[in-house]
Amino acid sequence: MDKKEHWENVFATKTEKEVSWYQEYPQTSVDFFKTLQLPLDSEIIDVGGGDSYFIDALLALGYTNLTLLDISGNAIARIKKRLGDKAKFVTFIESDILDFNPAKKYLFWHDRACFHFLTETVQIEKYADIVDKALDKGGRIFIGAFSTEGPKKCSGLDIKQYSMESLRFVFEKEFQLEGCFIENHKTPFDTVQNFIFCGFERKKITKEPTLK
């Protein structure tokens, strides 16, 4: 079973509360996002959005230029149904993140629990290149992945664990690390998954002094 088949099967056979990443409300992501005080017309993308309620929270805050990317058409169909009329404020992209070719520039890139499924160096480097292409000047990243104390598998798939330094290393060419923190996520099955969350800002371009 390839990646797409795997995730189509997950979202076809499991309810939102039968997957470990379920959150009734994405408090951590929303709290970080609010600190940025981005304009309401900002272009925002949620990568691997699946059944996440992050898009719902952004809509409730008044944001309307939203994009949700997920590899699973079943996941997208589910969130469209849940959003109802509000889905018109969201651009839905059915794609493997590694096949994503951004058609616009975003100011905020959100990824909770998608990135850590990329386990090969070439995949991780390609992801970083896509983020670079997708984010505008002043662009920000908020990314959540399993920490070095977290699970080694999720949904039956291998994942890559991260520390602050290893996450910083992935994005350091174009982005400045703003900070990281560790958090335990309680799953619907009463187990605990240890996450690391890090925020990044695009580095400002400094002009070389001109010689006179």
With helix as H, strand as E and coil as C, how does 26-91 read? CHHHHHHHHHHCCCCCCCEEEECCCCCCHHHHHHHHCCCCEEEEECCHHHHHHHHHHHHHHHHHEE
First-last CA distance in the chain: 63
In angstroms, rounded to a whole number, what is the distance separating the alpha carbons of residues 92 and 57? 16
Kindly give the confidence (pLDDT) of every residue in the chain, 212 residues in length, as a single tens digit, with 9 standing for 90 and above. 699 999 999 999 999 999 998 999 999 999 999 999 999 999 999 999 988 999 999 999 999 999 999 999 999 999 999 999 999 999 999 999 999 999 999 999 999 999 999 999 999 999 999 999 999 999 999 999 999 999 999 999 999 999 999 999 999 999 999 999 999 999 998 999 999 999 999 998 765 555 55
User: What sign has the CA pseudo-torsion 76, 82, 84, 86?
Assistant: negative
Q: What dihedral angle (degrees, nearest 10) is formed by the CA atoms of 123, 128, 134, 138? A: 170
Inter-residue contact 53 to 23 (CB < 8 Å):
yes
Q: What pLDDT sits at residue 205? A: 75
CB 79 within 8 A of CB 49: yes
CA gap 194, 46 in Å, rounded? 21
Helix, strand or coil for residue 161? coil
Torsion of CA 58, 60, 61, 67, to 10 degrees: 30
Specify the pTM. 0.94
